[in-house]
Homo-oligomer: A and B are copies of this chain.
Amino acid sequence: MSKSSVNAAVIGLGNVGSGTLDILAKNRAEIERKLGFPLRVTAVASRAIASKPLPEGLGSDVFTTADWREAVARPDVDIVVELIGGTTVAREVIETAIAAGKSVITANKELMAAAGVDLWKAASDKGVAVAMEASVAGGIPVHDVLREGIASDRIQTLYGILNGTSNYILTEIEKNGSEFGAVLAEAQRLGYAEADPTADVDGFDARSKLALLSALAFGERVPVDHIFTEGIRRITPLDFDYAHRLDNTIRLICSARRSEHGLLLSVRPSLIPRSTILASVQGAYNAVWIRGEFGQDTFYYGRGAGPHPTGVAVVSDLMRVARDLRGGNTGRVSPFSFRELTDHVKTPIEIHKAPYYLRFKVQDQPGIIAKLAAALAEQKISIEAVLQLPSDTPHNLPFVITVEPTTEQSIRQAIASMSDVPFFTEAPLALPMEKGL
């Protein structure tokens, strides 16, 4: 390359777009000290461009437009940064950029989980790069770690806390003893949760992220609907009381693990020991725990979202791609870590084996434990402990049974066989207990 700088167009000026421009403006000198050449933004597109002043320090000659096509088409633009989100226009932006021979950076987990491999193949055919560090766990460089940092390891298990909103809600329930609904309402008021909280609290956002990380960690192309997904709506302060009694806490755990039957994937609230480092992840933080055959345990922690933490991921990707463009080596590393992905064969969650936490709420009467114990025994499930904290609500009495390792299948059958008993005031809640952290 003969020209002196590598140039980017930023498409979308929401939180992440603004954070990205801010970093490029404010950290310009240090970025150039690392790269050895200038990295510049020469075009910015946003539908609201008229009302969005660009940060000082970005340079005065930035082309701004409300029409992303104009920005992408600029001949001085080498890299297009897609930060508008969603899967329709965003996809068009990326495809247009690739067709024009430009490398692409995106923070779009949903699109990349659904179509990332295809977009990457299209980019490879054109000899341009695709990078997506910001798509999972904002401020944690976990893509980079999997692609390069520990690339030589063979990953056995990956655990993640990948949805900051859910983790915030769970840790608020834990700290304050408030009910889910109240905490959610407060989180919405504070702007930590969306008006429609489904993607966060029902696990779908975390599911897209787990699909992407699984591709990077295991080389499998995982359709999101292959991932068993359960949200946090049923978790109560009571469950934390019981979990604490068991020296555990509860988190929305994304997990991917190799098993003899294939890669087993789930997003679900789980009990984890309070002594594990994963249990110390509070509030809106994210974390990823990786166990490799050789490197054993490593753990990565940081902000899951926010304009600046996610902006660091975007601009670090820009630096990476700029270096590769500069060296004429845009295909040096696959954005998915593996150069070919195999199709994931869905492994039924029913085979997953773990100890379980079973929480019941009943209208108190004699013989309840005997009935439940019989249903468990029928599935050859061994009870480890029966716990009942003091309660003044005999008409709606909670108690907990923990059981020794058994399969999800057996737990489901045992619970199904309890369905005709008359004393439940709420359906039993079954949560796996992750002991292997």
Contact = CB atoms under 8 A, between A and B. Distances in A.
A323 B312 contact: no
A319 B152 contact: yes
Contacts of A22: 294
Nearest to A323: B332
Contacts of A144: 144-145, 148-149
A41 to B, nearest CB: 13
B295 A308 contact: yes
A223 interface: no
Interface in A303-361: 303, 306, 308-309, 311-316, 318-320, 323-324, 326-329, 331-334, 337-340
A324 B332 contact: yes
A311 B294 contact: yes
A410 to B, nearest CB: 33
Contacts of A316: 148-153
Contacts of A339: 33-36
A280 interface: yes
A237 interface: no
A125 interface: no
A302 B298 contact: yes
B152 A141 contact: no
Contacts of A151: 31, 34, 316, 319-320
Contact of A329 (B280, B293, B313, B332): B332
A296 B145 contact: no
Interface in A128-176: 133, 139-141, 144-145, 148-154
Nearest to A333: B323
A297 interface: yes
A27 interface: yes
A301 interface: yes
A33, A334, A338 interface centre (most CB from chain B within 10 Å): A33
Interface residues of A, number: 66
B296 A34 contact: no
Nearest to A285: B297
A19 B294 contact: yes
A141 B319 CA distance: 18
Nearest to A310: B295
B141 A219 contact: no
Nearest to A149: B141
Contacts of A26: 154, 293-294
A79 interface: no
A23 interface: yes
Contact of A277 (B277, B326, B328, B332): B277
A360 to B, nearest CB: 33
A180 interface: no
Contacts of A333: 323
Interface string A417-434: 000000000000000000
Nearest to A341: B33
Contact of A328 (B299, B300, B326, B328): B328
A35, A148, A299 interface centre (most CB from chain B within 10 Å): A148
A231 interface: no
B150 A312 contact: yes
Contact of A33 (B219, B300, B309, B327): B219
Nearest to A140: B298
Report the 10 A-B pairs with minimum CB-CB distance, sorted nearest first: A141-B149, A327-B329, A152-B315, A298-B302, A144-B149, A295-B312, A299-B301, A294-B308, A36-B339, A329-B329
Given A33-B339, A280-B280, 11 more contacts: A27-B152, A27-B153, A34-B338, A35-B339, A141-B149, A150-B312, A152-B315, A277-B277, A298-B302, A323-B333, A326-B332
